[in-house]
Amino acid sequence: MERVDVAIVGGGPAGTSAAWKAAEHGASALVIEKGVPRADRDHLGPDSTDAAGMLDYWVDLMDFDPEDIPEEIILRRLDGADFIGPSETLTIEDTSIDASYPDFGFAFHRARFDDWLREEAEAAGATYRVGDSITAVETDRSGDGTRAQTHQLTLSNGDTVESEYLVLADGPQRTVTTDVLDQFLPGSRSITDHLNPRTANHIAYQEHRRVPDDIYEPHRLKFWWGYMPGHTAYPWVFPNDGDVARIGLTMPIGLDIDDFDRSEWALLREDDDGIPRGGEYIERLLELVYPEYDIEDFPLVEDRGKQGGTETYPISSTQPIESPTAAGIAVVGGAMGGTSAFHEGGDHVAVRTGKLAGELAAKDCLERYNSAWKDALGDEFTRNVTMADVVHDYGPDDWDWAFGTAERLLNRGEYSWWSILRSGLSGYRMVRLYNSTKDTFRDGGYVQLAESEYET
């Protein structure tokens, strides 16, 4: 049996960051990653998507300096974003949040990002086992005089690993997290009551396509809201390297088309007998937005992504949970519901929660983890949960109202009381709704499962 101080399940940004900081602070750290082959990477690694964009202040939330990010990871520096409704558009060139990164943000190569984090973790002394999955986890709280608790992990090849601390970083699918946490919930309660992948996730789909030069905007993110049904459902274009863009969409899982008026949504058709597949949605978007072009003018780049230039992946779309730290367990990143479909993922949240969990486990003070991630990321969670709640039932007309009002409110990027007065009753209504909703999530009210609810 292999024994380590900290065992980490999952080798994405959250798990790798946990291993990096645990090793850096003197702990023996092991990452167990089942690994997947990808056509667009040189090494076996996590099932990561390449739908990766980073805003300026997210670099600070990851606790990195801008110069820490290797240049080979960055595909394109960004100078703004366009939020496009059926008839109104909100254009921004500033996130309006203080940041050390000099630009609006950047698009980056997610597989290279994962590999960089792994190199840093291994350089600090962490080790990796790639190619085996976890089949069982048993936690013993009795203690042996040297460890407060032990976790025994059984791998698919029959090997076992024992650790004092366990970091769960298996992403929004939570294939290991669910069973581990269920043992600490009373009665018939299950973590799937809060984080069921079928209801607490969105599904995302994207295609890597070349874009004609005269319509390609290589330094802007573009999002279309009010075009397809579903809570925080939207298509997007992310610029990539050269003339390649990632054209994709995010939508809830399990939508029933009969719950929606087909005539209300620009990307639905009257004869649709179900929610369109991702590829169909993208073709309809391109036909609508660029009617002078054919789909053949946007050829797939088949050596990118997971399969022939395409990728499908889950994104957590719920409120985060706390961890049972009294049992020596920390849940990080997407596994804790810490990413968001509203802002297209959350690598920044994954990295920071992983860093905190790894460092605190190495210092034998993991009990501080829940308060630490709330101190570091509470404002970000509050913003995301508030906005997702405000727009929950939005239709196309609501998005037009919101974007038109926000365009006046921002007053060329300078939000002020004068801009509220200038925007009239609509601006006052928007600000009041946002603030009243935000108040319901203050003081950590965005947490949907508190540590006190576990039986440890």
pLDDT reported for residue 307: 82
Give the confidence band of 419 by pLDDT, cuts at 50, 70, 90: very low
Q: Which two tokens stand for residue 403?
A: 């974007």
Distance, in Å, from the CA atom of 171 to the CA atom of 48, rounded to the nearest integer, reads 10
Closest CA to 129 of 25, 7, 17, 38: 7
Would you call 101 helix, strand, or coil by DSSP? coil
CATH 3.50.50.60 correct for 2-78+99-197+318-385: yes
Q: How many other C-beta atoms are found inside a 10 Å radius of the C-beta of residue 77?
A: 15
Which of the residue ranges 33-47, 277-291, 315-329 has the most confident prediction, judged by mean pLDDT? 277-291
Sort 408 into a burial class: Cβ within 10 Å, 0-12 / 13-18 / 19+: middle
Residue 374 CA: distances (Å) to CA of 321, 352, 444: 11, 11, 7
Distance, in Å, from the CA atom of 334 to the CA atom of 339, rounded to the nearest integer, reads 5
Judged against a pLDDT cut of 50, whether residue 421 lies above it is answered with: no
89-92 and 80-84 strand pairing: antiparallel
Give the confidence band of 418 by pLDDT, cuts at 50, 70, 90: very low
pLDDT tens figures, 70-105: 999 999 999 999 999 999 999 999 888 999 999 999
Distance of CA 196 to the CA centre of its chain: 16
Distance, in Å, from the CA atom of 250 to the CA atom of 235, rounded to the nearest integer, reads 6
Q: Which two tokens stand for residue 6?
A: 């900290």
Contact 240, 301 (CB under 8 A): no
Residues in the chain: 456
DSSP secondary-structure letter at 169? Answer: -
pLDDT reported for residue 422: 47
Residue 155 CA: distances (Å) to CA of 26, 27, 102, 130, 296: 25, 22, 44, 11, 46
Contact 287, 317 (CB under 8 A): no
Q: What is the residue extent of each domain of the chain?
A: 2-78+99-197+318-385, 201-315
Distance, in Å, from the CA atom of 50 to the CA atom of 62, rounded to the nearest integer, reads 18
> For the residues 237-258, what does the mean pLDDT come to?
93
Distance of CA 188 to the CA centre of its chain: 29
pLDDT reported for residue 289: 97
pLDDT reported for residue 195: 87
Judged against a pLDDT cut of 70, whether residue 39 lies above it is answered with: no
Backbone CA torsion sign across 449, 450, 455, 456: positive
pLDDT reported for residue 434: 84
pLDDT reported for residue 439: 92
Distance, in Å, from the CA atom of 167 to the CA atom of 182, rounded to the nearest integer, reads 15
Judged against a pLDDT cut of 50, whether residue 447 lies above it is answered with: yes
pLDDT reported for residue 53: 87
More confident: 375 or 115:
375
Judged against a pLDDT cut of 50, whether residue 415 lies above it is answered with: no
More confident: 442 or 359:
359
Q: Which two tokens stand for residue 440?
A: 């319901």
Per DSSP, the chain holds a count of helices (H) and strands (E) of 10, 17
Q: Which residues pair with 307 in a beta bridge?
A: 310
Judged against a pLDDT cut of 50, whether residue 381 lies above it is answered with: yes
> For the residues 232-254, what does the mean pLDDT come to?
93
Give the confidence band of 404 by pLDDT, cuts at 50, 70, 90: confident
Average pLDDT, the chain: 89
What share of the chain has pLDDT > 90, as a percent?
A: 68
Beta strands, E only, 22-101: 29-33, 53-55, 74-78, 80-84, 89-92
User: Reduced to 3 DSSP states, what percent helix, strand and coil does the chain have, rounded to the nearest 5?
Assistant: 35, 25, 40
Distance, in Å, from the CA atom of 419 to the CA atom of 410, rounded to the nearest integer, reads 7
Q: Find where tokens 């946002």 sit.
A: 434
Closest CA to 81 of 107, 51, 49: 107
Judged against a pLDDT cut of 70, whether residue 130 lies above it is answered with: yes
Closest CA to 453 of 189, 258, 210: 189
Would you call 341 helix, strand, or coil by DSSP? coil
Judged against a pLDDT cut of 60, whether residue 413 lies above it is answered with: no
Residue 370 CA: distances (Å) to CA of 98, 246, 378: 25, 35, 11
Judged against a pLDDT cut of 90, whether residue 264 lies above it is answered with: yes
Distance of CA 449 to the CA centre of its chain: 19
| DSSP H/E element including 83 | strand 80-84
